[in-house]
Amino acid sequence: MFDEMPKTFYRKSALLNSYLHMLITFGEISNAEKFFTQIEINDSINYRVMMNGYNMNNRPEQCLNFFRQMQQKNIVADELTFTIILSACSQIGLLSICEPIVDKIPSNILNHHRLQITLIDMWMLGYVDKALKIFEHVQKPNVMIYTAMINAFGLNGMGYEAVDLYRRMPIVIQNEVTHICVLNACSHSGLIDEAHSIFNNIKVKTERITTTMVDCMSRMFMFDEAQKLIDNFESCHPPGFAMYRALLSGARNHQNFILLEKVFNRMKNLFPEKKQGLTADFIFLPNSYSSVGEDEQAKEVQLKRLHQIGKNKIVGITWTEGN
């Protein structure tokens, strides 16, 4: 298609970038690379499109290679370019690679919120002290920066720190994602009282927020409370599939087989259209029995449920069905 365009278009940067973006969107990385080499004058935007494409296709090393090419050609990287580069660093996760690149970020763009959020996200796994250092240098944190830092605390098992920051955050800027992140932090740190307090003070309890609280209770084996919360939600909302999956997972971890089968049967009645999801959840049942040596019970459940779900497969063969 591009070969049919007038040659005068070949110098139009916007058109070249759009064509590169189209190739990358369709996964044509090899063709995008070939076309990139044919562009007479490559600027920071061309490089940015290619680097973002590598990230989208899980090839962060190539993204960093292009950044090195930019440096060799003295092409200046802007805020958006560094955001893409840091995303590549996040995928790689090596301190020896990340730190030298962070040191190259000009001070005049280091205070931009988008870049600060990306830095916090990059450091959140294993280097929470570096993420906190970035956060502490933010003059006026917005909701995304607060939420990124709360999430960083939660992923590192620092539930109390996550709750403390959440409570210091201005209430007027808290949103659904903020509530979910702090409840997840409580869930993974076993802070059920803090989770209760936070949840009760949330004015608009969306399905995702309620699901997170159900997950928190289920992880603590508080199944009666979790079921009550689901019942309360369903009194004025349609049933939520994810809520039952959270309850199902907690029942399995607690080896509560009676509840496990009860929840599964209710899911089957409430969500008959979700056969794919039910097949995945069904694996919980025989696996749970097998984990405690109840192999005969596991086989019985397998045969019974496979017939009911409509998956005519032989026991022992994978139950995950591709589209």
**Model confidence pLDDT, tens digit, residues 206-254:** 999 999 999 999 999 999 999 999 999 999 999 999 999 999 989 988 8
What are φ and ψ of residue 206, in 5° steps? -75, 170
Chain centre distance of CA 291: 29
Which residue from 12, 74, 75 is spatially nearest to 44, judged by alpha carbons?
A: 75
pLDDT of residue 299: 52
Does the pLDDT value for residue 126 go beyond 90? no
Give the pLDDT mean for 151-164.
Answer: 97
Query: Six-digit token pair at 181?
Result: 């992140």
Does the pLDDT value for residue 294 go beyond 90? no
Contact 321, 309 (CB under 8 A): no
- Torsion angle (degrees, nearest 10) of CA 10, 13, 17, 19: -30
Distance of alpha carbon 303 from alpha carbon 296, whole angstroms? 11
Which residues neighbour 139 within 8 Å (Cβ) at sequence distance 6 or greater?
Answer: 111
Contact 156, 128 (CB under 8 A): yes
Contact 249, 228 (CB under 8 A): no
Distance of alpha carbon 282 from alpha carbon 264, whole angstroms? 7
The pTM for the full model equals 0.79
What are φ and ψ of residue 47, in 5° steps? -60, -40
Distance of alpha carbon 22 from alpha carbon 39, whole angstroms? 16
Does the pLDDT value for residue 95 go beyond 80? yes
Which residue from 83, 91, 85, 156 is spatially nearest to 118, judged by alpha carbons?
A: 83
**E strands present in the chain:** none
Instruction: Categorize the per-residue pLDDT at 296 as very low, low, confident or very high, splitting at 50, 70 and 90.
Output: low
For residue 203, count other CB atoms closer than 10 A to its CB. Answer: 6
68-77, 98-107, 194-203: range with highest mean pLDDT: 194-203
Give the pLDDT mean for 171-199.
Answer: 97
Instruction: Categorize the per-residue pLDDT at 315 as very low, low, confident or very high, splitting at 50, 70 and 90.
Output: very low
Give the pLDDT mean for 296-309.
Answer: 51
- CATH for 1-100 is 1.25.40.10
**Domain range annotation of the chain:** 1-100, 125-204
Which residues neighbour 247 within 8 Å (Cβ) at sequence distance 6 or greater?
Answer: 214, 218, 223, 226, 227, 230, 259, 263
Helix (H, G, I), strand (E, B) or coil at 271: coil
Give the pLDDT mean for 115-134.
Answer: 93
Chain centre distance of CA 35: 32
